[in-house]
Chain A
Amino acid sequence: MDNKVKVGIFKLTSCAGCQMVIVHLEDSLLEINKYVSFEYFKMATSKNEEMQPVDIALVEGAVTTSEEVEELKEIRKNSKVLVAIGSCATTGGIPAMKNDTSQVELEKYVYKNLIPLTSVKAYGLNEYVPVDAYLYGCPIEGDEFLQLMANLLAGISPRFPAPSVCKECKIRGNYCLLVQGKKACLGPITRAGCNALCPSNGYPCTGCRGPSLDSNPRSLREILLDKGYSQEEIKKLFKLFNSQVSEFVEV
Chain B
Amino acid sequence: MNNKREINIRYISRVEGQDSVLINVRDNTVESVLLNIFEPPRFFERFLIGRRFDEVHYVTSRICGICPIAHVVAALRAVENAIGVEVDEQTKTLRKLLAMSGIIQSHVLHVFFLAAPDYLGYPDAIAMANDYPEVVKKAFKLKKLANEISATIGGRAVHPVSASIGGFLSFPTEEKLMKLKNELIEARKDAEETVKLVARFSFSELIRKQEFVALSKPNEYAIYDGNLVSSEGLKVQEKDYRQYVEEHYFSHSNAKFSNLRNRSSFMVGPLARVNLNYNLLNDEAKRVAEEAGFRVPENNVFKATLARTIEVVHFIEESIKIISEIKIKEVKPTYSWKPGSGIALTEAPRGLLYHSYKIGKSGSVEEADIVTPTAHNAYNIENDIKTIVPKTLILKNEGETKKVCEMLVRAYDPCISCSVHFLNLNVEKDS
Chain A residues with a Cβ under 8 A of chain B: 11-21, 23-24, 26-27, 30, 33, 38, 41-48, 64-65, 67-68, 94-95, 97-98, 100-101, 105-106, 109-113, 115-119, 138-139, 197-198, 200-203, 206, 233, 236, 240
CB-based contact A18/B46 at 8 Å: no
CB-based contact B332/A45 at 8 Å: no
Question: A23-B113, A236-B51 known; A201 and B161 CB under 8 Å?
Answer: yes
Q: How many Å lie between the Cα of A18 and that of B64 in the bound state?
A: 10
Q: How many Å lie between the Cα of A65 and that of B157 in the bound state?
A: 29
CB-based contact A97/B126 at 8 Å: no
Q: How many Å lie between the Cα of A155 and that of B354 in the bound state?
A: 48
B45 adjacent to chain A (CB < 8 Å): yes
Of B16, B50, B126, the residue contacting A16 (CB under 8 A) is: B16
- Of B36-44, B210-218, B263-271, the one touching chain A: B36-44
CB-based contact B162/A203 at 8 Å: yes
CB-based contact B159/A139 at 8 Å: yes
CB-based contact A19/B422 at 8 Å: no
CB-based contact B424/A139 at 8 Å: no
CB-based contact A42/B159 at 8 Å: no
B417 adjacent to chain A (CB < 8 Å): yes
Question: A44-B113, A116-B426, A202-B170 known; A109 and B125 CB under 8 Å?
Answer: no
- Of B140-148, B221-229, B297-305, the one touching chain A: B140-148
B203 adjacent to chain A (CB < 8 Å): no
Nearest CB on B from A88, distance (A): 9
* Complex: chain A residue closest to B333, CB-CB: A202
Q: Which residues of chain A come closer than 8 Å to B161, judged between CB atoms?
A: 197-198, 201-203
Which parts of B139-170 form the interface with A (CB within 8 Å)?
Answer: 140, 143-144, 147, 155-159, 161-162, 164, 169-170
What bracket does the count of chain B residues touching chain A fall in?
Answer: 35 or more
* Complex: chain A residue closest to B54, CB-CB: A203
Of B58, B62, B417, most A-chain CB atoms within 10 Å:
B62
Q: How many Å lie between the Cα of A67 and that of B18 in the bound state?
A: 13
* Complex: chain B residue closest to A37, CB-CB: B126
Nearest CB on B from A29, distance (A): 8
* Complex: chain B residue closest to A45, CB-CB: B124
Which parts of B36-84 form the interface with A (CB within 8 Å)?
Answer: 39-43, 45-47, 49-52, 55, 58-59, 62-66, 68
Question: A26-B143, A109-B46 known; A119 and B14 CB under 8 Å?
Answer: no
CB-based contact A48/B11 at 8 Å: yes
Q: Which residues of chain A come closer than 8 Å to B90, judged between CB atoms?
A: none
B340 adjacent to chain A (CB < 8 Å): no
CB-based contact B126/A17 at 8 Å: no
Q: Which residues of chain B come closer than 8 Å to A112, judged between CB atoms?
A: 249
CB-based contact A18/B65 at 8 Å: yes
CB-based contact A139/B158 at 8 Å: yes
Contact sample, A vs B, 19 pairs, CB 8 Å cutoff:
A12-B40, A15-B65, A17-B68, A24-B143, A30-B126, A30-B129, A38-B126, A43-B17, A46-B13, A98-B46, A100-B47, A101-B43, A109-B49, A117-B424, A197-B156, A197-B161, A201-B156, A203-B169, A236-B52
